[in-house]
């Protein structure tokens, strides 16, 4: 009988120790989860702020483009302002222009000047673009 009591006491001690370890692990996991939630909240707030800033910039750009439609163009076509808007768009989205843009433009010009493959149609258009020579 005494052995049975000792065995039950030993078993109870093991159960209590196991429960203590589990409670400590659960408390640590809860603490880690609270920190992770705090970090996630901060990251989401920063992302939301960045989205708001980008949205404000896009809105301002759209408004400046809309205002540009309603005003007469100056003699230099307001090149400086357009360059600033292009620079802003490049900074926001990256430069999306093709590296071989002149080549693409040249093919388009040639198709306008010589629409039927290899045959001249009507009056020859002058190459006003200043790059490349038409192929005929």
- Vertex 36, ends 30 and 39: CA angle to 5°? 145
Report how many domains make up the chain.
1
Each residue's pLDDT, cut to its tens digit, for the chain (136 residues) gives: 888 888 899 999 999 999 999 999 999 999 999 999 999 999 999 999 899 889 988 888 888 887 656 555 555 444 455 556 666 666 666 555 544 444 444 454 555 555 555 555 455 555 555 555 555 5
Which residue is listed with tokens 């309603």?
A: 70
For residue 112, what are the domain limits?
82-123
Question: Is 113 contained in some domain?
Answer: yes
Question: Is 112 contained in some domain?
Answer: yes
Question: Is 106 contained in some domain?
Answer: yes
Question: Is 100 contained in some domain?
Answer: yes
pTM of the model: 0.37
- Vertex 24, ends 19 and 26: CA angle to 5°? 90
């Amino acid at each position: 009988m005494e052995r049975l009591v000792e065995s039950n006491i030993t078993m109870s001690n093991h159960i209590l120790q196991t429960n203590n370890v589990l409670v400590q692990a659960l408390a640590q996991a809860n603490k880690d989860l609270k920190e992770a939630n705090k970090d996630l909240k901060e990251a989401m707030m920063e992302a939301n702020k960045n989205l708001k800033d980008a949205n404000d910039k896009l809105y301002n750009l759209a408004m400046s483009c809309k205002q540009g439609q309603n005003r007469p163009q100056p003699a230099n076509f307001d090149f400086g302002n357009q360059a600033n808007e292009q620079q802003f768009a490049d900074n926001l989205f990256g430069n999306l222009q093709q590296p071989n843009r002149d080549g693409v433009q040249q093919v388009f010009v040639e198709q306008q000047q010589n629409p039927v493959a290899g045959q001249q149609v009507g009056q020859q258009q002058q190459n006003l673009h200043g790059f490349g020579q038409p192929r005929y």
